[in-house]
Structure 1
């Protein structure tokens, strides 16, 4: 059942005698205190993400065929904040997240025993709650638990790890608990654990050898800013069943000694190095060629010819883009994902020709000339990301994009561009399998028009479109209407410094799958342009700069966006316009920066129509942002993302 059909029945509609009524067979009722919200309820969507459903307050009707998640944000010092879960059934929740905004003392720790009746719970996340091993013992009835995450739980200790023996069904464990070596031996008691994530800092090294006794461990992540050295990696040599190793962050460079240890992991299929300092040599990387099943390689040599015999490789990252390396990669027929770095200009089509003399010399001996031409041999390539550029590297232009036309199977393309024109967009438009496109403008030589953007209209599989030109790219040189109507599968649009005219905003019409819309510095979004947003049923995040919203007609029609979770606008947004904002109970973040004064009465109206926003933030001239007091019991969630970055010394 679509969640939209249930919105009117949420948050206390069933009360009193209604509580005894039998709900329809395709829904169920979750019972929470009527007088306060316990937290936020989310319902799993069709793509395994989560949609905000409403506050956990009163009797809430939810669909029976969707997983339910409850997030609780503890803001007060009371230890009994979890008493509101008492009337939940054993399997009412699939996932529970409890996060505290303050560091808990023994007297203020939440009483986790209140969770012990939730025996069908599959996923539990605890953050800064002060949980102890004794408290985890009280939760041993949660026998269905498959995923357990601890964030900044420094009171957990080795006794806490020992208590995990009660959770035999665990498949995933994330320990941000400052574990020590002695405590790691207890993890061998988890017979079904497949994925383990450990925060480094308190582990000297020998304890990592205990992980070899874990019978089903396949994926291991070691992360932190300290405590990851060659010595630590040496103790991983016994993990002969390990399939994936991710090393994330350190303050001491890893050397070839670490690669020698990793080369002994005979079952390893994936090696990921993220923001990692290294001092590897090509000879050290060559040792990894002895791992027979290695498919994903994050430790890349300067000379890619070292990889020539690793025909099983499917993913390589951090290879310098030059003719020698591209020629070496041509023999990797199974390569699907390639990350390249630009240490020198690709060609002489952009920038100062004098600064590219060294690059020209490197091409003289290569009859192909431009190294990008050699990518043609990688017929299996699906993902191409190019980064690591310096001030000397003037990125891709039309010539390089023309050379990519033969990569007909490409699904994910992320490149820095300079000298991009409509001709280059025409080349991209021939990559019919593209699902994700990210263009980063690194100079002032990009010249586009509506006619050029319309070349993308045939990319019917495109789900993510991101164009950040950094400096304005004018699209008004012709009278061609902007037409992206063929991009019917878009879920995310990010346009920065793409100059749009008023009528161009119509390209948003009929984007029925769009979830995220970020249009920044794209020219003035007229109030009439907002009418194209009102019919985007799946939109969750709206970020617009610069907006001209005087009368509020565009805001008044947003009430149909039942999944909208965040609104951010910068521009001319008047008091009258904000006063016409309709009730949006799904919104949890509201941030407006305007150039005119807003009355306190209008702020009060915003608080009323945005009941699940903790802080209504309106920044206006001559005053600090006016925000009502936080609404107790309403939580916020934060998502972070990280990117891999690599150079010879990873950081």
Structure 2
């Protein structure tokens, strides 16, 4: 019995020692794991998501290893306990047996092997390889069970195999993409090479850990990582160094025409969808915001009669109301039942409202309109003198637009008391000379529109007495002759705009233009009445800002026009002017900004004299320039719009425009051979050339011989 107790004590001590070793190894692994995690987190805080994923994968593998090891240990403990009980029983039986020698030999044969470890867990595959013996198949695995790395899908090929008796497709041997295949196993089972977790198709060895463990090592590693990042970063440009802007390519991340909407515009756009939700807040909005809200709804097609009723019902203050072209909203019912409650209105625009007629105009008899209204626009409406009589009480009215209505001399006579008028538009109305006496009563008048009326030289003589007239529109007045231009010389000190297009003013009448010293804008009678002989009379208009001579085919030379130093816009399209006009006249116009030379006789030599001008817009379509002209155009830094269409220009000369490519907001290259150069400009800036398909004249009989149609 002493021997049995001693044996039991010895086995128990061996078990306790083994348990202590396993616990110590587990604690050491946990410590190393925590230190590695802290080091990874301190060295690379940016890749936290990748670090967490790696930790989760390592934890999963560790959990599997721990579970497997624990299972093996528990199984080993059970086997030891069973073997220990069997051994005790056998020793007791052998103690009472007489034949100790024979029984001792039997005991030695039957004594269990405590060094034998339990078999590792295996993963069941979906398919089974063919076996070649009872225990180990031709792949070198126990019970023909193929080995796969843990965690991964066993039906996929692993990174590498392990050494087995045979080299199969699932393990052993050297593979092109082989790597270490991991096997969960007990630490003590190291005799068989199959159980080496770092065994592979080659002679690989486990990587040696170089991770810092102490705080000083971690700190040093962290500082080294910062220094390495700094050394690898690009060099910063010194503040004192000047960067060559010509070499640096400017990349416009935001289009030039892109504008950020203001917050108030976004709010108004939201409100315009449905005013019902915001009706209580309308009263607190300013009159300017209410005006912008109405204009926004009108421009987007969201304005309805219901929304106008909601605005009026909310008690909002409205000072300006522009409902032009809103024929679905503005009608007689709207004026009589909704418009009448807008008692603070000062500016009203009802242009081109087809459903508005004389009945609705009676609303302007209300005292609030007679007191506050300053501007009224009723152009292009079906109103007559019967409705116009309702406007005679608007004594504070300053602007009245009645163009293209049924107003006649009778209706205009009813408005004789509107003495504060500064703007009157009766164009395209049945107005004659008899109304000019009424107009003369409006002594504060500055803008008078008489285009398309029946006025004659006699009527022009009458209105020439207006002391403050600034702009006079007489286009399409077919009864006006050279005598009218003489009468208008009385307005020479105040008149700044004169439109005499399509009148009977001829060559001899131009002599009176020298009296209009303040004239800034002039619209000439027509191309038949102007030639090189009469163009010289314009040279005395030193304050002229804009001159339009487009389609005046009788003009060939502008050399006499050397005194137009204030000219900012000159339009000469479809004339016969050439390089002489540029050399002798145009190049001296220092204030010129817009110049149109389309379909003229200008060549490259003439363009060379435009370099010193501060032009923002230049049109050279269908002229006689070539690629050499681009050399001079590239020096005009102020250019924003350039038209080079239908000229003999190729890609070879387009490089000359690179200095101004970024500053151009529009360039027209149609009809040129510059297909490759369009990429120099922004897609929204350039109007590219288009290839024309030239069809074979022989009914496409040559297509089979020459191939595709010629470009």
Q: What TM-score results when the alignment is normalised by the length of structure 1?
A: 0.59
Distance in 2 between the 1:211 and 1:518 partners?
A: 53
The answer to whether the 8 Å contact 1:175/1:199 transfers is no
> Which whole-Å CA distance do the structure 2 matches of 1:501 and 1:420 have between them?
28
Larger Rg: 2
Residues 583-610 of structure 1: CA deviation (Å, up to 9, x unaligned): 321112211343xx61xxx3333422x3
Question: Which residue of 1 is the match for residue 387 of structure 2?
Answer: 284
Equivalent residue for 1:270? 375
Partner of 1:157: 274
Q: Quick one: which of 423, 431, 439 aligns to 2:508?
A: 423
* Distance in 2 of aligned mates of 1:528 and 1:263: 67
Shift of 1:489: 2.5
- Of residues 413, 427, 439 in structure 1, which corresponds to 2:524? 439
1:438 Cα offset (Å): 2.5
* Cα distance in 1 between the residues matched to 2:312 and 2:465: 45
Alignment of 1:574-613 (within 5 A): 574-575=649-650, 578=654, 580-584=656-660, 585-594=662-671, 598=673, 602-608=674-680, 610-611=681-682, 613=684
Classify 1:206/1:553 alpha carbon distance in 2 versus 1 (closer, same or farther; 3 Å): closer
Q: CA deviation at 1:546?
A: 3.5
Is 1:260 the counterpart of 2:362 in the alignment?
yes
Partner of 2:467: 379
Q: Which residue of 1 aligns with 2:555?
A: 475
Corresponding residue of 1:307:
415
- Distance in 1 (CA, whole Å) between partners of 2:272 and 2:418 is 46
RMSD, matched Cα: 4.0
Q: 1:493 aligns to what SS in structure 2?
A: strand
Give the 3 Å change call, closer, same or farther, for CA 486–240 of structure 1 in structure 2.
Answer: farther
Residues 1:336 and 2:446 are matched in the alignment: yes
What secondary structure, in the 3-state scheme, does the structure 2 residue paired with 1:405 have? helix
Cα 1:458/1:620, change in 2 over 3 Å = farther
TM-score (ref. length: structure 2): 0.54
Tell me the CA shift for residue 160 of structure 1. 7.8
Partner-residue secondary structure (3-state), 2:254: coil
Aligned positions of 1:383-532 closer than 5 A = 383-387=471-475, 389=476, 394=478, 396-408=480-492, 409-439=494-524, 441=526, 445-449=528-532, 451-468=533-550, 470=551, 472-476=552-556, 482-506=559-583, 507-521=585-599, 523-532=600-609
* Cα deviation 1:514-550 (Å, max 9, x = unaligned): 33323444x322222223432222x332223431112
Could you tell me whether the CA contact under 8 Å between 2:275 and 2:307 is conserved in 1?
no
Given the superposition, is the C-alpha separation of residues 384 and 418 from structure 1 closer, same or farther in structure 2, using an over 3 Å criterion? Answer: closer
C-alpha distance in 2 between matches for 1:16 and 1:272: 66
Gaps of 5+ in 1: 1-14, 25-33, 41-70, 73-95, 99-122, 137-147, 180-195, 348-368, 625-651
1:296 Cα deviation after fit: 0.4
Does structure 1 conserve the Cα–Cα contact (< 8 Å) formed by 2:398 and 2:421?
yes
* 1:252-305 CA distance string (max 9 Å, x none): 34112332224432211111245x3x2212132122121121010012631132
Matches within 5 A, 1:49-60: none
Q: What is the aligned residue count?
A: 439
Report the CA distance shift for 1:35/1:432 in structure 2 as closer, same or farther (over 3 A). closer
**CA 1:302–1:258 in structure 2 vs 1: closer, same or farther (change >3 Å)?**
same
- Pairwise CA distance, 1:373: 1.9
More strand by share: 1
**Cα distance in 1 for residues equivalent to 2:573 and 2:531:** 13
- Where structure 2 has 5 or more consecutive residues not aligned to the other structure, the ranges are 1-233, 243-249, 696-711
